[in-house]
């Protein structure tokens, strides 16, 4: 059985990422790209669905502690055993147009008996490869081949075949060290030469640290903010600039239930919000890369805009169920692809326009193409803004007139108008002003429950939604407006569970799904920012600290938190949680400055 979600850590090369358990097992790895089929898929099944284990052979009396080396994505797991200490270092070298995962085991005290298991199953844990031993550069390697994929295991001591697994047991004494690597290559290509490991690992560590060194320090929990930014960077595809929502699929929002989704794609919403956080924390280059990605992805007729794409801007991500996987703790179906791709989510353009405005403010000049694209998307929205949609939560029930979606429509027109007024760009500003006023009037009339003094989830309900906390954050109303304060109070009353916020009440049936879900971390981080804008600074700091304490031992967050069972839920690590952590920290820093 897979470990608890918080017992995993991520290493990645900005093309893909692996999840490594505190037991030394790599239980999830899709090669060569985030959304490629997994070759290690034990996370969603069992060890026979593929994994790579390097760890003490005995588990009794063993403790494991983990850390990233400085501000890098090089992971170190230290196993203290009754006979000695073993340090496992995991890294995926950056920027070398290869896909290698490098693992070093080093005994630092006493003697440790080590277990090595290399179990490759292509196509999400389903296909047993053909495995051979071959010579490369005078060294014996193990090669696993099936269809388009070939994986090669290198190391000073190779495991032997045992009923479809490759296993080995050996002892290391203090001072002994062994380095193993798994390299992916297309099956028709030659096997690549060995990597100069020490150089590549050191260069990768130094590159992560150089990047993290530019992060703002004047924020609370600066260590977690840096780790969040590094994680967002790991989720950004280096070659294309696309940003995935998480590297996993189907880690459940409800254990044992059906709320299991594939997040290995680029949502315009999540990517735009990620960019806002990166820009606010001082990173501009990423904005340039993402804007180029956006221009390529949405190129064509604005009517064909999708709410998500693949990392290279592809439009096809049909949803399928993988029957052969048992699911994380039995949570089925396991899905790949995402049917939300075909939904109308009217909020998306507002988020994109904010991110592009922030990029402009950070000094990124518009190109002829980039502004023309924004203009045409805003014009397209002008013809459809008043239609019901699936909202930012991608509900699978009936489309509604979601208040948050309409607020973000207001944002889209507002930022387009500001581009003309403040940056001298051209556009039909009078028409946009009329539309902005029309949307605002509609939201205030139909999205507000005057009796209770709160905004509502959609126009035909008295239910609430945590997305309404964005009303002050995007500037629709000031943070201390009575209607905003009333909405915060109502959300606290209806959506707070065990001190953290749920997105909405699933019991209303709005999302068309069975089962319940846990507090959604991004919503609680929005509450921190909303408290800060409302002047409730003590509440803001208290909630921010409690949220930061939910991060695991290496500073990572999933999508939701099951407070009752003190465990993470949902895909992991999730961009939405990390980007809102950064936003909340920046809100607190801003509030402290305003007060000074
Ligand atoms: O909860 C139902 C929906 O869950 C997923 O969407 C969520 O994740 C997205 C990526 O982070 C995020 O953009 C969205 O706001 C979240 O609701 C899933 O992708 C949907 O298919 C599903 O309906």
Ligand 1 pocket member 467 (CB < 6 A): no
Spatial distance between the Cα atoms of 474 and 447, rounded to a whole number of angstroms: 16
Position 241 confidence tier, pLDDT thresholds 50, 70, 90: very high
Spatial distance between the Cα atoms of 356 and 382, rounded to a whole number of angstroms: 19
- Please, what sign has the CA dihedral across residues 562, 567, 570, 573? positive
Question: What's the CA angle centered on 228, arms 227 and 229, to 5 degrees?
Answer: 90
Domains within the chain, CATH numbers bracketed: 5-188 (2.70.98.10), 214-595 (1.50.10.10)
Nearest C-alpha neighbor of 238 from the set 281, 158, 292, 164: 292
Ligand 1 pocket member 38 (CB < 6 A): no
Query: Quick one: tokens of 266?
Result: 């680029």
Residue nearest atom 17 in ligand 1 by C-alpha distance: 393
Mean pLDDT, residues 493-518 taken together: 93
Q: What is the pLDDT of residue 595?
A: 83
Position 368 confidence tier, pLDDT thresholds 50, 70, 90: confident
Residue nearest atom 21 in ligand 1 by C-alpha distance: 340
Ligand 1 atom nearest the C-alpha of 511 is 2
For tokens 């922030």, the residue is 358
Ligand 1 atom nearest the C-alpha of 559 is 11
Q: Could you tell me the distance, in angstroms and rounded to a whole number, from the CA of residue 161 to the centre of ligand 1?
A: 41
- Ligand 1 site-directed mutation target among 251, 340, 405, most atoms within 8 Å of CB: 340
Residue nearest atom 13 in ligand 1 by C-alpha distance: 270
For tokens 């070093």, the residue is 104
In Å, how far are 252, 497, 527 from 562, measured between CA atoms? Answer: 11, 10, 18
pLDDT at 96 over 90: no
Ligand 1 pocket member 504 (CB < 6 A): no
For tokens 């991520």, the residue is 10
Q: What is the pLDDT of residue 135?
A: 95
pLDDT at 194 over 90: no
Ligand 1 atom nearest the C-alpha of 503 is 17
Q: Is 307 left (phi over 0), alpha (psi -120 to 50) or beta?
A: alpha
pLDDT at 379 over 90: yes
Q: Could you tell me the distance, in angstroms and rounded to a whole number, from the CA of residue 393 to the centre of ligand 1?
A: 5
Spatial distance between the Cα atoms of 35 and 569, rounded to a whole number of angstroms: 21
**What are the beta bridge partners of residue 116?**
54, 168
Mean pLDDT, residues 197-207 taken together: 91
Spatial distance between the Cα atoms of 462 and 480, rounded to a whole number of angstroms: 22
Ligand 1 pocket member 392 (CB < 6 A): yes
- DSSP 3-state of 216: coil
Residue nearest atom 11 in ligand 1 by C-alpha distance: 245
Residue nearest atom 14 in ligand 1 by C-alpha distance: 393
Q: What is the pLDDT of residue 167?
A: 98
Q: What is the pLDDT of residue 389?
A: 98
Ligand 1 atom nearest the C-alpha of 393 is 17
In this prediction, the answer to ipTM > 0.90 reads yes
Residue 53 contacts by C-beta under 8 Å, 6 or more apart in sequence? Answer: 23, 24, 25, 26, 47, 115, 116, 117
Mean pLDDT, residues 401-419 taken together: 98
Spatial distance between the Cα atoms of 595 and 276, rounded to a whole number of angstroms: 24
Spatial distance between the Cα atoms of 232 and 311, rounded to a whole number of angstroms: 14
Q: In Å, how far from its chain's centre is CA 281?
A: 18
In Å, how far are 26, 69, 209, 508 from 206, measured between CA atoms? Answer: 24, 10, 5, 50
For tokens 């956006």, the residue is 294
Q: What is the pLDDT of residue 36?
A: 97
Q: What is the pLDDT of residue 139?
A: 94
With contact defined as beta carbons under 8 Å apart, do 403 and 413 qualify?
no
pLDDT above 90 coverage of the chain, percent: 90
Spatial distance between the Cα atoms of 555 and 174, rounded to a whole number of angstroms: 30
Q: Could you tell me the distance, in angstroms and rounded to a whole number, from the CA of residue 194 to the centre of ligand 1?
A: 40
Q: What is the pLDDT of residue 442?
A: 98
Count the neighbouring beta carbons within 10 Å of the beta carbon of residue 210: 11
Average pLDDT of the chain to the nearest whole number: 96
Query: Quick one: tokens of 243?
Result: 């940003």
Q: What is the pLDDT of residue 198?
A: 85
- Where is pLDDT greater, at 275 or 502? 502
Reported as a single tens digit per residue, the pLDDT across 139-169 is 999 999 999 999 999 999 999 999 889 999 9
pLDDT at 95 over 80: no
Q: Does 32 sit behind a cis peptide bond, omega within 30 degrees of 0 on the bond before it? A: yes
pLDDT at 98 over 90: no
Position 556 confidence tier, pLDDT thresholds 50, 70, 90: very high
Ligand 1 atom nearest the C-alpha of 574 is 11
pLDDT above 70 coverage of the chain, percent: 100
Where would I find the beta strands (DSSP E) of 194-278? 266-267
Ligand 1 pocket member 42 (CB < 6 A): no
Ligand 1 pocket member 33 (CB < 6 A): no
Residue 14 contacts by C-beta under 8 Å, 6 or more apart in sequence? Answer: 94, 95, 233, 234, 236, 237, 238
Reported as a single tens digit per residue, the pLDDT across 53-72 is 999 999 999 999 999 999 99
Ligand 1 pocket member 263 (CB < 6 A): yes
For tokens 């507090």, the residue is 519
């Amino acid at each position: 059985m897979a470990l608890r979600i918080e017992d995993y850590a991520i290493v990645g090369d900005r093309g893909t990422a692996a999840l490594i358990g505190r037991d030394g097992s790599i239980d999830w790895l899709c090669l060569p790209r985030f959304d490629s089929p997994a070759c290690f898929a034990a996370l969603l099944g069992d060890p026979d669905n593929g994994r790579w284990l390097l760890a003490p052979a005995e588990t009794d009396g063993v403790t494991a502690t983990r850390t990233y080396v400085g501000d890098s994505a090089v992971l170190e797991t230290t196993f203290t055993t009754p006979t000695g200490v073993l340090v496992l270092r995991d890294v995926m070298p950056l920027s070398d147009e290869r896909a290698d995962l490098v693992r070093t085991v080093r005994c630092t005290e006493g003697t440790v008996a080590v277990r090595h298991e290399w179990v490759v199953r292509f196509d999400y844990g389903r296909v047993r490869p053909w495995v051979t031993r071959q010579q490369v550069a005078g060294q014996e390697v193990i090669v696993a081949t099936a269809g388009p994929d070939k994986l090669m295991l290198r190391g000073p001591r190779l495991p032997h075949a045992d009923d479809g697994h490759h296993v080995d047991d050996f002892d290391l004494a203090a001072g002994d060290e062994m380095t193993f690597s798994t390299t992916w290559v297309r099956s028709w290509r030659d096997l690549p030469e060995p990597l100069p490991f020490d150089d590549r690992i050191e260069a990768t560590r130094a590159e992560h640290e150089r990047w993290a060194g530019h992060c703002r320090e004047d924020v609370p929990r600066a260590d977690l903010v840096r780790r969040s930014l590094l994680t967002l960077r790991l989720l950004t595809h280096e070659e294309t600039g696309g940003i995935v929502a998480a590297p996993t699929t189907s880690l459940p929002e409800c254990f044992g239930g059906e709320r299991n989704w594939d997040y290995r794609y680029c949502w315009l919403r999540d990517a735009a919000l990620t960019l806002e956080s990166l820009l606010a924390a001082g990173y501009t280059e990423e904005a340039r890369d993402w804007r180029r990605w956006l221009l390529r992805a949405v190129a064509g007729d604005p009517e064909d805009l999708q709410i998500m794409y693949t990392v290279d801007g592809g439009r096809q991500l049909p949803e399928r169920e993988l029957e052969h996987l048992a699911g994380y703790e039995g949570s089925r179906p396991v899905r790949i692809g995402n049917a939300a791709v075909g939904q109308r989510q009217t909020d998306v353009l507002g988020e994109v326009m904010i991110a592009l405005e922030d990029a402009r403010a950070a000094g990124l000049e518009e190109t002829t193409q980039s502004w023309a694209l924004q203009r045409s998307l805003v014009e397209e929205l002008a013809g459809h803004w008043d239609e019901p949609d699936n909202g930012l939560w991608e509900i699978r029930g009936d489309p509604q007139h979601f208040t948050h979606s309409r607020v973000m429509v207001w944002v889209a027109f507002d930022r387009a108008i500001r581009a003309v007024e403040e940056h001298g760009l051209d556009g039909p500003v009078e028409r946009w002003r009329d539309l902005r006023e029309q949307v605002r009037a509609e939201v205030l009339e139909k999205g507000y429950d005057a009796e209770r003094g709160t905004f509502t989830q959609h126009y035909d309900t008295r239910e609430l939604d945590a997305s309404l906390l964005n009303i002050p954050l995007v500037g629709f109303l000031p943070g201390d407006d009575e209607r905003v304060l009333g909405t915060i109070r109502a959300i606290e009353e209806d959506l707070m569970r065990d001190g953290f916020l749920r997105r909405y009440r699933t019991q209303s049936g709005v999302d068309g799904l069975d089962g319940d879900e846990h507090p959604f971390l991004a919503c609680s981080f929005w509450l921190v920012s909303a408290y800060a804008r409302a002047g409730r600074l003590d509440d803001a700091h208290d909630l921010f600290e409690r949220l930061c304490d939910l991060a695991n031992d290496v500073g990572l967050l999933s999508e939701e938190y099951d407070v009752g069972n003190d465990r993470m839920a949902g895909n992991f690590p999730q961009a939405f949680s990390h980007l809102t952590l950064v936003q909340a920290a920046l809100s607190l820093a801003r509030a402290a400055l305003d007060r000074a």
